[in-house]
Structure 1
């Protein structure tokens, strides 16, 4: 797996092309998602986070107001998200299927 093709780029560098998306998301390349992971930048802005999570920016703002989203930090007057906080938040919101035997 080439390391240069799995790094998530900041918002101003997102191309939006299907080739780019295939480079960013292993499942679109037909790879096993469990073995290929994206490398997040150290800090993300709201635009980056919304795109990474495939949600609207308004959803991120709503999460911020309700305190349910990933932990955020202020850098100057700007809100940023640490990659480690995003991954922790995703892990804490993982739902495991019930083991139902019939």
Structure 2
């Protein structure tokens, strides 16, 4: 099993973790994506990150949107990057 497959398995395990609410905080989204909260914030500001919504001023992410974001940014080769 290569690193890519291991990452996909880990992501699936996190997505299936029912202890996480369906509306995730930036910290939870970062954990799921395997990056820092600051990186998630930067992507949100730049408009390059996953979709989000606000609840009483708090940023939240839907798990299904994060999964779609991961799928859309999954590559098998560096020549696939755009």
What is the TM-score normalised by the length of structure 1?
0.56
Query: Aligned equivalents of 2:77 and 2:40: distance in 1?
Result: 26
Query: Aligned equivalents of 2:72 and 2:27: distance in 1?
Result: 22
Provide the aligned C-alpha RMSD in A. Answer: 2.1
Query: Aligned equivalents of 1:74 and 1:55: distance in 2?
Result: 21
Q: Deviations over 1:76-101 (max 9, x none)?
A: 11000000100000011011237xxx
Deviating beyond 6 angstroms after TM superposition, the runs of 4 or more aligned structure 1 residues are: none
Greater length-normalized contact order (CA 8 Å, ≥ 6 residues apart)? 2
- Whether 1:37 aligns to 2:13 is yes
Higher helix content, 1 or 2: 2
Aligned residue in 2 for 1:54: 34
The aligned length equals 66
Unaligned 5+ runs, structure 2: 1-5
- The higher radius of gyration belongs to 1
- Whether 1:74 aligns to 2:54 is yes
